[in-house]
Every structure is written in C-alpha cells, then in structure tokens.
Amino acid sequence: MDHFLYRDGVLHAEDVAVPEIASAVGTPFYCYSAATLTRHYTVFDAALRGMDHLICYAMKANSNIAVLKLLGDLGAGMDVVSGGEYRRAIAAGVSPSKIVFSGVGKTREEMELALTGGIRQFNVESEPEMRLLNEVALELGKVAPITVRVNPDVDAKTHAKIATGKSENKFGIPIAKAREVYAEAAAMDGIEVVGIDVHIGSQLVDLEPFRLAYEKVAELTGVLRADGHTIKRLDLGGGLGIPYAHGNQAPPTPEDYGQIIRETVGHLGCEIEIEPGRLMAGNAGILVSSVIYNKEGDGRNFLIVDAAMNDLIRPAMYEAHHDIIPVIEPAAGAEKRPIDIVGPVCESGDTFAKQRDMTAIADGEMIAFRSAGAYGAVMSSEYNTRPMIPEVLVKDDQFAVIRRRPTFDEMINRDTLPEWM
C-alpha cells in the first residue's frame, strides 16, 4: 500500500494534489511520500521483532538527505557503498555507529574517511581489500570492525544485471573459501571480525533463494565459531522485491521474509542486520511528467512526454516495467488504446513502455510513473543537457522541494575551457 491515490478524480500524494506540486515546481519531477517511507520502515521493523536487529537502509536506492533523515530519525542505520554516500549519511545526522560500508572497490581514501569518522563495520568483499584495510587501520592506529561478504552461489532468479549471489558475479568471496579468509583476518592486528555478510541480488520475488543463502550462512556461523571466531552479527543484505505491475501476483511481504530469517538464523543469538533499499523507497515515489505531443505513427501511436531515460533509466537499462497512470482519473469505462510512451532523448532506448493500454491523454496533461522512488533520481544524469529534475517530499498536506532543478548556467559553468583555447 502506498499513499498515491485518486481523490475527487485527481491523483494525490498523501493530502496534496499532484497538479498543485506541478504548478509550483514544473514537470518532470519526483515526488516521495513520507508516510509510505515510514510505513515501509515500520513493516520491516515489525517483521524482525523479537530479534536484536538493525535495518541499514541501502541508500543507493534513494540517497536524498531528506529521505535519509526521515529514515534515520525512525531508527534506521545506513548501508553505504561509497565515500560520497558515507558523507551524505553523516550530513543527514545518522550516527556512524549505524553505518555499514559495502562495495567491491573501496579505496584507501574511503577507508580512511570511515575509520576516522567512525563506522559500524566494513563488509569486506575480497582478500586484497582486507589487507589494505588492515594496513590503513594500523597506520591510523585504529581497528577496523569487519564482516566478510560471502558469495553463497545461489541463483537469485532476478534480472542478470542485479543478481549478485552466483559465483560468476564480482561480489564477495566464495563461501567455500571463507574459513581461510577468516583465519587470515584473525591474524591481522588492524582487523576485528564481528560477523558475516551476504547479499544475493535485488528485486527478488521468491523467498527460496534467501532461505538457501541464509541456511548456508547459518552453517558457516557454526563452522567459524568452532574455529574460534566471534560471529555476533549477521548482515543478511537487501533485495526483497516490490510489485511494479498492479494486479500481478504480489511478491512476498517483509513479514514472510522476516519469518525466513527467524527460521534460518534466528537461533544463533546474532544481531541481525538487513539492507533493504528498493522496498523502502520504490513504492514511496512517483515520477510526474507532462505529455508534450501525441504523435500518430504508421500503425503505432506515441505519447511523447517531458521525462526521459536520463530521469528514469530503469526501463532502458533493466527492461523494467513501471505502471503509468494519468494524473486526472479517466472516466469509468473510458476506452483504452495501445500506445508507446517515450521521452525526447535521441535514442530508441528512450522508451518507457511499448504498446501500453492507456486512455486518451491530451497534450499538456500529466502522467505519473509509479514505483519510481528507488533507483530513479539517483541514477539520473544530464544526458542531452537535460537538468536533473526536482525531488519533492510530501508529508500530510505539506510538500517541500528537497532537491531543486539546477539552472542551465550552473550546468554549463561546470565545464571549463582549457587555457590554450
């Protein structure tokens, strides 16, 4: 359930009419619902009740600091994958003791930043990374708390670009090699082992891969403890999928997912960390766009809108489906026709939907892409010198711009001419 509903025939975000926001900021724009974000956090929190746990929001899904502050104030920690994200989390007021650092390519500078500023743990993804981290920690006179991300070789059955738990993926160390790596860690003075980490992919709509992965982690916990390691935390990653298409079979709920965690690792006495991103933010956001032209093609009609692949790249990059609805509710029984919904960018890939059944939407009217709160604004670019679009946060009957549209001067003045020109 989210908070984007028609009221009196007009799409609202909570208690605010979408056209009211459009009048204030212009289209296209992203709009997030505070109540939906809050609800998603609360649902995860409830799903893990009875277990010592920390929800580390995977902020790469949506890293606007207003979103981070909202979740942080509810009690969330953060999963960061870069020094930039670490800085954002700190800027949003998140305690370093709740920040975990993931990612396969952490640099020396990023390690220094987190070791100096404070960190809950590094999720180490390779032996060379662990050796460098040990070196950097020793230089700074610190000890780096770590988990090792293990790759359980489980098929997440998701889109190839977002599957991370098979041995052919670049992530983590093979689970069969874990004992060796933990033994090496134990011998390092700059490293303190605190647990195990796993993350098998994104947009999982089946719980079985989670169960298989978590069973392997449970088994490994026993093995590593017998080897004398302290395993007090299990970071179980993110990846729970969301419904993108209305009416399709709904993916498992956080409650079902929590049950899997309870069954597989609940008996180990570990603190549980999870790193949901998409499920926290995805259905908490919409992208609002205006129709520029209705174009009649040869046997194919196009709705050319003012949002483009640079604003929302998921359809072009992952063949992702987004439900697209008119901002003004169509009359009951209004006729639907198949139409291609495309942006203005000079690429055929700039297509949001092909042959989508839609009611007639006139030039100048607005549409909303649902489920656009995660991996939307964060993946946007200025391709075609299109300004990054505003982000708006709604809370009850209030709304605020939480990232404004840059001016063209700001965009152009970032470039500089070499002296010799």
Minimum CB–partner distance for residue 349 and ligand PLP (Å): 23
Give the strand pairing for 16-17 and 366-369: unpaired
Site for ligand PLP in 232-251 (CB under 6 A): 237-239
* Measured distance CA(329)–CA(367) in Å, rounded: 10
- Binding of ligand PLP by 79 (CB under 6 A): yes
Indicate which single residue of 63, 151, 202, 221 sits in contact with ligand PLP (rule: CB under 6 A).
Answer: 202
Minimum CB–partner distance for residue 53 and ligand PLP (Å): 15
Q: Is 203 left (phi over 0), alpha (psi -120 to 50) or beta?
A: left
Minimum CB–partner distance for residue 4 and ligand PLP (Å): 20
In a 10 Å sphere around its CB, with 0-12 CB exposed, 13-18 middle and 19+ buried, how is residue 330 labelled?
Answer: middle
Site for ligand PLP in 80-109 (CB under 6 A): 102
Minimum CB–partner distance for residue 75 and ligand PLP (Å): 18
CA-to-CA separations, 5 to 41, 110, 329, in angstroms, rounded: 20, 42, 10
Please answer whether residues 55 and 405 qualify as being in contact, where contact means their C-beta atoms are separated by less than 8 angstroms.
Answer: no
Neighbouring CB atoms inside 10 A of 255's CB total 12
- Binding of ligand PLP by 258 (CB under 6 A): no
CA-to-CA separations, 135 to 131, 141, 179, 229, 388, in angstroms, rounded: 6, 10, 21, 21, 40
Q: What 3-state class would DSSP assign to 87?
A: helix
Please answer whether residues 26 and 20 qualify as being in contact, where contact means their C-beta atoms are separated by less than 8 angstroms.
Answer: no
Indicate which single residue of 98, 199, 229, 395 sits in contact with ligand PLP (rule: CB under 6 A).
Answer: 199
Q: Which is nearer to ligand PLP, 11 or 130 (CB)?
A: 130
Q: Which is nearer to ligand PLP, 202 or 371 (CB)?
A: 202
Q: Identify the active-site residue in 31, 56, 270, 346.
A: 346
Minimum CB–partner distance for residue 84 and ligand PLP (Å): 15
Minimum CB–partner distance for residue 151 and ligand PLP (Å): 12
- Binding of ligand PLP by 120 (CB under 6 A): no
Indicate which single residue of 25, 31, 58, 70 sits in contact with ligand PLP (rule: CB under 6 A).
Answer: 58
Write each residue from 18 to 37 as x if it is in contact with ligand PLP (CB under 6 A), else as -, in one continuous string.
--------------------
Neighbouring CB atoms inside 10 A of 66's CB total 20
Q: Which is nearer to ligand PLP, 283 or 290 (CB)?
A: 283
Minimum CB–partner distance for residue 370 and ligand PLP (Å): 17
- Binding of ligand PLP by 254 (CB under 6 A): no
* Measured distance CA(234)–CA(88) in Å, rounded: 25
- Binding of ligand PLP by 275 (CB under 6 A): yes
- Binding of ligand PLP by 278 (CB under 6 A): yes
Q: Which is nearer to ligand PLP, 61 or 130 (CB)?
A: 61
DSSP assignments along 131-185, one per residue: HHHHHHHHHHT--EEEEEEEE------S-GGGB--STTSSSSEEGGGHHHHHHHH
Nearest to 113 by CA among 148, 145, 140, 79: 140
Q: What 3-state class would DSSP assign to 42?
A: helix
Q: Which is nearer to ligand PLP, 212 or 342 (CB)?
A: 212
Interface stretch with ligand PLP, choices 29-37, 63-71, 269-277, 361-369 (CB under 6 A): 269-277
Instruction: Scan for tokens 């780096």, then name that residue.
Output: 144
Nearest to 78 by CA among 230, 235, 194: 235
- Joined together, the tokens standing for residue 333 give 């029984």
Instruction: Scan for tokens 């160390």, then name that residue.
Output: 173
Q: Which is nearer to ligand PLP, 275 or 391 (CB)?
A: 275
Interface stretch with ligand PLP, choices 91-99, 256-264, 272-280, 411-419 (CB under 6 A): 272-280
Indicate which single residue of 12, 40, 60, 233 sits in contact with ligand PLP (rule: CB under 6 A).
Answer: 60
* Measured distance CA(56)–CA(269) in Å, rounded: 19
Q: Which is nearer to ligand PLP, 60 or 229 (CB)?
A: 60
Whether residue 270 lies in the annotated active site: no
Tell me how many residues contact ligand PLP (CB under 6 A). Answer: 16
Minimum CB–partner distance for residue 105 and ligand PLP (Å): 12
Indicate which single residue of 77, 276, 285, 343 sits in contact with ligand PLP (rule: CB under 6 A).
Answer: 276
Active site residues: 346
What residue ranges bind ligand PLP (CB under 6 A)?
A: 58, 60-61, 79, 102, 199, 202-203, 237-239, 275-279
